[in-house]
Structure 1
Amino acid sequence: MIRHLVLFKLDDGVRRDDPRVIAGAEAFRALGSRIPELTFWECAWNISDRPIAYDFAINSAVADRDALQRYLDHPAHQAGVALWREFSTWVIADYPFEA
């Protein structure tokens, strides 16, 4: 199994109630039921207000590297990424784990 973690940081001046951000969060929330490669899916807004905190997180899992690539290439994922690219930056970590 591979864990896929993504942390998003909103650009300076961008707020969570911005319509673009709302659309981006909704697009990512829907991925769990739209992409069959995902064996686990959760995403949410961070509740921490510490200066080093990121704003939004995705925690997901797939079976293997091939499944990860299919997830990354999936049109619904690509559409969500295109939305987030407009107002944020992010970091990722992909690592193996045993279920």
Structure 2
Amino acid sequence: MIRHLVLFKLAEGVERDDPRVAEGVAAFRGLDGKIPEIRFWELGWNLSDRPIAYDFAINSAFEDADALRRYVEHPEHQAGVALWREFATWVIADYEF
């Protein structure tokens, strides 16, 4: 199994209640059940107020590297990425478990 972690940092001046952010969150919330490769899916807002903290996280799992690739390339995932690109940056980590 491959764990796929994504941590998002909202751009300077962008708040959680921004309509673009709400649309982006909704897009990613809706991926579970739409993309068959997803084996585990959870996401949410960070509770920490530490200055090094990111704002939003996705924790997901996929059967193997090919399934992860299909997910990444899936049009629904790409549509969500396009939304987030407008107001955030992110880092990822993919590892076997």
Q: What's the TM-score once normalised by structure 1's chain length?
A: 0.97
Aligned equivalent of 1:76: 76
Q: How many residues align?
A: 97
Q: What's the TM-score once normalised by structure 2's chain length?
A: 0.99
Whole-angstrom CA distance in 2 between matches of 1:45 and 1:60: 15
Gaps in structure 1 of 5+ consecutive residues: none
Structure that is richer in helix per residue: 1
Report the secondary structure of 1:67's partner residue: helix
Report the secondary structure of 1:28's partner residue: helix
Alpha-carbon RMSD across the aligned residues, in angstroms, is: 0.4
Whole-angstrom CA distance in 2 between matches of 1:50 and 1:93: 21
Instruction: Return the offset for 1:49.
Output: 1.1
1:35 aligns with 2:35: yes
Gaps in structure 2 of 5+ consecutive residues: none
Report the secondary structure of 1:53's partner residue: coil
Letter in 1 for 2:48: S
Report the secondary structure of 2:31's partner residue: helix
